[in-house]
Amino acid sequence: MAQSTSITVFMVLIISTLALVNGSYLYPQFYDRSCPHAKDIVRSVVAKAVAKEARMAASLLRLHFHDCFVKGCDASILLDNSGSIITEKGSVPNRNSARGFEVIDQIKAALEKACPQTVSCADIMALAARDSTVLAGGPSWEVPLGRRDSLGASLSGSNQNIPAPNNTFQTILTKFKLKGLDIVDFVTLSGSHTIGNARCTSFRQRLYNNTGNGPPDFSLDQSYAAKLRQNCPRSGGDQNLFFLDPVSPTKFDNNYYKSLIAKKGLLSSDEILFTQNQQTRQYVKQYAANQELFFQQFAKSMVKMGNISPLTGKSGQIRKICRKVNS
């Protein structure tokens, strides 16, 4: 009996430490008993989706980012319009841009079949982001789990809190700091742009009229700019897609940072990491020279981002369908 009590106390201490470290009750083994195959199910569906379309890896990674920066990592981005809920999908950062919702639906349907109302949509997105990174050739990490799903969304939060391509350096850094992330996380998580695409409308001002008086952005390599203008005209073509990393657009590597040094960062929010701050410039150089260093820090920063204000315990709910709250 005494031994049993000491084991119980020991377990409580471990769980308390986890709660203290993460600021919430998140730990990788959360579903080991309630849904032992949860991680395998998520990985399987993500693998099929990425095999079908390589771009989906970047889309699922971005979905997690855009969720966590609004009200925390609570799957609020997945909610459709209904009743009093105004969807975040219609915000400026997400409209005609956020994607991968159908893949999340497929994962949720498979999990509901295996373990009804057990695995949250918020945890699905955290796992899908990790699996997408790995499938694209990037690092892996243990994903702390136990998040619950929100009962609402925040259109205004989505419009205001997510860093925008044309935000100033200080504005973006402030948006990171407000979420408990620092300048290292800013540089490192920006490295997710080693995969994926951006729309013409998100960088057009760099090609034609960066300061409002005509000249292009001279922090952008001018031969690269001329190439971009071919498919990103002064007007029209807003949705035309361009690789964020022109060297290896579907491979998760450190070429993104090498491109910044070469003045070939597509978005202003990317290039300013090299041009506007001495500290971030040094990190860009380090990551460009050492991919393993980038991978190690990316894993750490992703866990840190995944810990932004999760709903735990009895807060929120486990949605049956990720697009709507339970009735």
Active site residue ranges = 66
Give burial (CB, 10 Å; 0-12/13-18/19+) of 231. Answer: exposed
For residue 314, what are its two tokens? 């009895």
CA–CA separation, 169 vs 272, rounded Å?
Answer: 7
CA–CA separation, 285 vs 263, rounded Å?
Answer: 13
CA–CA separation, 60 vs 75, rounded Å?
Answer: 12
Beta bridge partners of 241: 199
Which phi and psi angles does 249 have, rounded to 5°? -65, -20
CA–CA separation, 268 vs 260, rounded Å?
Answer: 10
For residue 318, what are its two tokens? 């486990």
